[in-house]
Amino acid sequence: MKIEDGQIYYINFKGNHGREINNIHLGVIYKLPSIKDVVLCIPLTSPKIKHFKTEEDFNNRNYKNVKHFSWQYLKQTDSIALLDQLKTISIERLLNPFEDQDKKAIKLNENTQQILKGKIKQYINLILDKKKKIP
């Protein structure tokens, strides 16, 4: 299976518990150095009013006005990236790549990947250094 950083896959999250994302959802994948059978995954979900500060922000998909720092709106897939559910997963959970109408696998563009990577770094720093405040 050819996996590229920033590629989007349908992923089988069945077996997760509590508020963890469950069933089949899209996710953004990043390879881990020197580990072939596990990848880093950012689960995606459909945008809902609760993800944005106002209904107008939801209707306009204003990516700058998400309600919680650990969420990020992705225009490319009209999805919310759930950074608070960032996890490593077995590649056996990957079902198939998310494709466009021409059957081409979708990969996040560089700008979107840079936004996500920046937020991931900030979020991990917040987790590890509880003294910092959420931006």
User: In a structure prediction context, what are the per-residue pLDDT tens digits for the chain, which is 135 residues long?
Assistant: 688 999 999 999 998 788 878 889 999 999 999 888 999 999 999 999 999 999 998 998 888 888 888 888 898 889 999 999 999 999 999 999 999 889 999 999 999 999 999 989 988 888 888 766 666
Question: Coil, helix or strand for 16?
Answer: coil
Question: Coil, helix or strand for 118?
Answer: helix
Contacts of 90 (CB under 8 A, 6+ apart): 37, 38
Please state whether 76 falls in left (phi above 0), alpha (psi between -120 and 50) or beta: alpha
Name the pTM for this structure: 0.86
> What's domain 7-128's architecture?
Roll (3.10)
- Burial of 45 from C-beta contacts in 10 A (0-12 / 13-18 / 19+): middle
40 strand-pairing partners: 30, 88
